[in-house]
Structure 1
Amino acid sequence: MKKILIVDDEKNIILSLKMLLIKEKFQVLTAMDGIEAVNMAQEHIPDIIFLDIVLPKLNGYLVCEALKEDINTKNIPVIFISAKTQEEDIKRAFKVGGDDYIVKPFTYQEIQNSIHKYIEEDEGNE
């Protein structure tokens, strides 16, 4: 079963994403701050990470940099999900190693498209 880590400090975002992903048959891990996110990613090595930028303890940019510098987590696709729409915020997300950027409020279709872009479907090969 593919693992997805959701990192956001808004419980309603985590809950709605988690419900969608469980329905899609993913194992869902969650973190509500940047330090917890780095620890969870290093411990569980998820297949994909949905990462907010504005987080307590360590912001999403620093989380992404830390993960991309770690040999065990550097190849995990990081998809930023943020309400920040300024071009410099989006550019910075890619500069620190982000693979994609989805603006809040997002649609389930955007989430699904992003997942399918980075996770191969392996029917029955789990």
Structure 2
Amino acid sequence: MSLHPSLNAYEIAARLALEDGSQLVVFVSFPSAGVTYDEILGREVFLFDQAGIAAWQIDPERGTTEGRTHEFDPTIPTTEPFVNVWQANGLAYASRMNGDTFRIDMETGVGTFSGWART
């Protein structure tokens, strides 16, 4: 289920302004910092249009990395929080606190695991 919060619904951890005036926003929901919002945990990334209306909430591929090799395992469920968003080579990415990085489909919000990066 996707939520459609306002821009001021939660504290903002990261924000990326896009060329079309929209923005990717990562809301704070970090259990390790004592801030948890179950309704967005593990899906803290939203696209807001120019009017500040949520267009979608990230829908990340199921799974996470585990161990020192950082091999992605789609059988491991996770609610690891997202903490950052950025663009590279015309693509948008979001990374979790543990370094799992997802390429974001900007039309749908679907996140596909693209590798591991220290964030």
Both structures adopt the same fold (TM-score exceeding 0.5): no
Q: Larger strand proportion, structure 1 or 2? A: 2
